[in-house]
């Protein structure tokens, strides 16, 4: 009897130099697929931009709209917001990036753009401006939605642009844990602190599989300064498999970069 489930897409991966954007390795990197919470890389990028346009500050506080709590399904990740509480925008950014709070994503989108749809339009405008031609966003959270798609290549390039324009975000994505009210939760990026890994974002949905955009900074033979690479894996079948692929591909990426530099000498 034929299965009613669509076949799982092959794992997509890519490793790039964060500064030059040179591609060091890639596999199925142009395959369009759900990016899960790696979407929040663009949520953060858009939030920084809209906040700057408004003249606001991350220390500004807002009251949480009940919709931004109640519209998050029970099986979605949260930072633990409650209706009516006042919270600094900077705390929402931490909840967004460290524990992948979908409530934080909705609150930022509503406050900064007026609605989820308007915020998503800004996200798509940025995607076009950055040359992310295979990406289209429907939500700020990355929940599985028809038409909400990206690629490993686009996610890696987005991560590089995000770090270049808003480098202070790296300190947030490097946080090992997050606490708000009764919630205490570890960052799901288990690679943090391992061989120079200091960010960025994990993601998982049933449709997307296990996803990770990771960045590492290491001394690399032939380079006068430490080299920063970004690796993205989309669609792994387990957290352990995803993490192992990222480890191996970062190691290979630094080896490729060192060999390329040696050939230039």
Q: What pLDDT is stored for residue 245 in this prediction?
A: 98
Q: Assign 84 to helix, strand or coil.
A: coil
**Mean pLDDT, the chain, whole residue set:** 95
Both tokens of 19, joined, read: 């500064």
Domain spans in the chain, listed from the N-terminal domain onward: 12-264
- Over residues 2-36, the pLDDT tens digits come to 444 556 899 999 999 999 999 999 999 999 999 99
Distance CA 86, CA 144 (A): 29
Distance CA 35, CA 63 (A): 29
**What CA–CA distances, in Å, run from 5 to 1, 41, 102, 153?**
12, 29, 27, 26
The predicted model scores a pTM of: 0.95
Q: What is the DSSP letter of 53?
A: H
Q: What is the DSSP letter of 36?
A: G
Catalytic positions: 37, 40, 100
* Residue labelled with tokens 């979605």: 76
Q: What pLDDT is stored for residue 6 in this prediction?
A: 59
- The domain 12-264 is placed in CATH, from the list 3.30.9.100, 3.40.710.10, 3.30.200.20, 3.10.129.10, at 3.40.710.10
Residue list, annotated binding site for substrate: 201
Distance CA 94, CA 99 (A): 8
Q: Which residues of the chain have pLDDT under 50?
A: 1-4
Please name which of 78, 99, 241, 230 lies closest in space to residue 176, comparing C-alpha atoms: 99
Q: What pLDDT is stored for residue 3 in this prediction?
A: 45
**Omega before 200 cis (within 30°)?**
yes
**What CA–CA distances, in Å, run from 108 to 83, 167, 245?**
14, 20, 32
Q: What pLDDT is stored for residue 265 in this prediction?
A: 58
């Amino acid at each position: 009897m034929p299965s009613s489930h669509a076949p799982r897409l092959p794992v997509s991966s890519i490793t790039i130099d964060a500064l030059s954007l040179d591609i060091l390795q890639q596999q199925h990197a142009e395959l369009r697929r759900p990016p899960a919470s790696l979407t929040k890389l663009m949520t953060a990028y858009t939030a920084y931009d809209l906040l700057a346009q408004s003249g606001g500050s991350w220390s500004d506080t807002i009251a949480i709209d009940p919709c931004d709590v109640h519209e998050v399904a029970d099986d979605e990740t949260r930072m633990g917001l409650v209706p009516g509480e006042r919270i600094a925008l900077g705390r929402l950014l931490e909840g967004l990036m460290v524990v992948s709070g979908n409530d934080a994503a909705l609150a930022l989108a509503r406050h900064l753009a007026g609605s989820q749809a308007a915020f998503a339009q800004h996200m798509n405008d940025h995607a076009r401006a950055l040359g992310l031609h295979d990406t289209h966003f429907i939500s700020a959270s990355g929940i599985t939605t028809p038409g909400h798609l990206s690629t490993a290549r686009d996610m890696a390039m987005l991560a590089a642009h995000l770090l270049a324009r808003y480098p202070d975000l790296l300190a947030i994505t490097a946080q090992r844990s997050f606490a708000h009210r009764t919630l205490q939760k570890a960052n799901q990026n288990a690679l943090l602190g391992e061989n120079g890994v200091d960010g960025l974002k994990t993601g998982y949905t049933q449709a997307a599989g296990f996803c990770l955009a990771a960045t590492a900074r290491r001394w690399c033979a032939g380079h006068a300064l430490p080299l920063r690479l970004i690796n993205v894996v989309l669609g792994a079948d387990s957290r352990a498999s995803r993490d192992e692929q990222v480890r191996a591909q970062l190691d290979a990426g630094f080896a490729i970069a060192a060999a390329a530099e040696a050939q230039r000498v």
